[in-house]
Chain A
Amino acid sequence: MVFVLELENFQGPFDVLLKLLTNHKLDITDVSLAEVTSEYLDYIAKIDLNIEEMNWFLLIATKLALDKSQLMLKMTPDYNDDDIDILESLQQYQHIKNMATAMTAQFKTPMYGRGSNIENSTKRVDLSNAKLNTIFLSLLEKYNNRPKTKKITSKKLIIEDLRKRFCTHLAKIKKFSSYEVIEKSDNKFEAIIYFLTLLELINQGKVNGDDCQFVVEAA
């Protein structure tokens, strides 16, 4: 899928032509337009345009090239009613641009009404260096004065340690009942570990017994 990004600030062929004329300090005349035609064609060869935009630019390019050739050959232009008069269009566009500039100044002094008008405006934000510095220092102070969080430590039960502890205990008491597993355990987890350790010791023949009474065999 192709996404077309429409940039509102994108300007059209008349704007490009006016900029070229301004760059060369030229007035809007047939001769001036003939002088910037090549530059205009170079410009549209370089920029990326979608089909619709290219259509507008090529329309003007064709007319510019035709006007230039007629000027060089000193031919009398043969206008149809549908032809674009670039000179007239450019003058009109220049005028619109001037009006838009004048309007920018007018827009600086709107008439505020009651209610919603203020909401359509942009909230002014003071972002001077001094203001930014104050904000930064305030944040830094907040950071430095933040409440210290207590380090939460968890009691890690390491299975191997529990096994060793239980084996050492059994070696000391020598004789014990199955209740020893329960008595020695602080919680269910430890009880499981001790019980499995006991089963393993029985399996290895290091502990013998019956009727829930066990004896640790000499190593």
Chain B
Amino acid sequence: METEAKLVALLFYSAEPISIKHIIRTLSIDKAELGELKKNTNTKLGAIGLVILGDTNSMQLAIQSKYSLLVENFYETSPEPLSQPALEVLSIIAHKQPIGKMNIDEIRGISSDQSIRNLINKGLIKKITEGNATSYITTLEFLRVAGINSLHGLGKLDGSDGTSK
């Protein structure tokens, strides 16, 4: 109970996502315990319209997606729409991450440079480099914008294993 309150305190204070490593160190728990803590805390936060978003690197406290319209009407704002190519690229990255640009291009049958740049600028994806290989993954901002609290919230790519010949 006390740890849940501590987690909420840490997340509430920050307007930006905070590093999972930092949380683990501060609360003296391991990654699995943090996963369980997040799950339990989310159950309680649900009653007051809040949710903890998290990916493998960071966590953020947010308002549940069912209240997005209320917030938008109050602040007279709307989510910025994405173009069709950007949505396609984002779908590919979200379902097959980490994925390289060449594979994205192969799936779409055309270069996706412009869309990738656009998505990076919006903070929805980021580039990671392992050795000489560069690939792209989604960010916590993507989860927030997509209104899901983890990548498990994404639908599965049915009927395709996603590999091109």
The reply to whether the CB of B137 lies closer than 8 angstroms to some CB of chain A is no
Contact A109 B144 (CB under 8 A): no
CA distance A41 to B53 in the complex (A): 48
Contacts of A101 on B, CB cut-off 8 Å?
87
Contact B88 A97 (CB under 8 A): yes
B85 in complex: contacting residue of A10, A56, A89, CB < 8 Å: A10
10 A-B residue pairings within 8 Å (CB atoms):
A56-B109, A103-B87, A103-B94, A111-B65, A111-B144, A114-B15, A115-B15, A120-B122, A123-B76, A124-B76
Stretch from B26-34, B55-63, B126-134 forming part of the interface with A: B55-63
- Please give the distance in Å from A59's CB to the nearest CB on chain B: 8
- Ranked nearest first, the 10 interchain pairs of A and B with the lowest CB-CB distance are A12-B110, A115-B15, A100-B87, A111-B62, A14-B109, A99-B91, A109-B65, A12-B109, A113-B62, A121-B77
Q: Name the residue in A10, A104, A113 with the highest tally of chain B Cβ atoms < 10 Å from its Cβ.
A: A113
Q: Which residue of A lies closest to B87 (CB)?
A: A100
- Please give the distance in Å from B112's CB to the nearest CB on chain A: 9
CA distance A13 to B60 in the complex (A): 40
Interface of B toward A, CB cutoff 8 Å: 12, 14-16, 51, 53, 60-69, 71-72, 75-88, 90-92, 94-95, 105-111, 113-115, 118, 122-123, 143-149, 155, 157-160, 162, 164-165
Also in contact, A56 and B110, with CB within 8 A (given A96-B92, A100-B91, A124-B76):
yes
Contact B77 A118 (CB under 8 A): yes
Contacts of B14 on A, CB cut-off 8 Å?
114
Contacts of A115 on B, CB cut-off 8 Å?
15-16
Q: Name the residue in B14, B107, B165 with the highest tally of chain A Cβ atoms < 10 Å from its Cβ.
A: B165
Tell me the residues in window 95-154 of chain A with beta carbons closer than 8 Å to chain B beta carbons.
Answer: 95-97, 99-104, 106-118, 120-124
CA distance A12 to B14 in the complex (A): 42
Stretch from A19-27, A80-88, A178-186, A209-217 forming part of the interface with B: A80-88
Contact A107 B160 (CB under 8 A): no
Contact B108 A12 (CB under 8 A): yes
Contact A110 B79 (CB under 8 A): yes
Contact A6 B113 (CB under 8 A): yes
Interface of A toward B, CB cutoff 8 Å: 6-15, 52-53, 56, 60, 81, 83-85, 88-89, 91-93, 95-97, 99-104, 106-118, 120-124
Q: Which residue of B lies closest to A80 (CB)?
A: B165
CA distance A7 to B114 in the complex (A): 8
CA distance A85 to B66 in the complex (A): 42
Contacts of A114 on B, CB cut-off 8 Å?
12, 14-15, 61
Instruction: Add 20 more A-B contacts to A89-B106, A107-B146, A111-B65 (CB < 8 A).
Output: A6-B113, A7-B114, A8-B86, A9-B85, A14-B109, A84-B164, A95-B157, A96-B108, A100-B87, A102-B155, A103-B94, A107-B79, A110-B68, A112-B144, A113-B53, A116-B15, A121-B79, A122-B77, A122-B80, A124-B76
- Please give the distance in Å from B8's CB to the nearest CB on chain A: 12
Contacts of B110 on A, CB cut-off 8 Å?
10-15, 53, 56
Contacts of B69 on A, CB cut-off 8 Å?
109
Q: Name the residue in B123, B143, B155 with the highest tally of chain A Cβ atoms < 10 Å from its Cβ.
A: B155
Q: Which residue of A lies closest to B12 (CB)?
A: A114
CA distance A91 to B149 in the complex (A): 29
Contact B68 A109 (CB under 8 A): yes
Q: Which residue of A lies closest to B118 (CB)?
A: A8
Also in contact, A9 and B91, with CB within 8 A (given A95-B160, A110-B146, A121-B77):
no
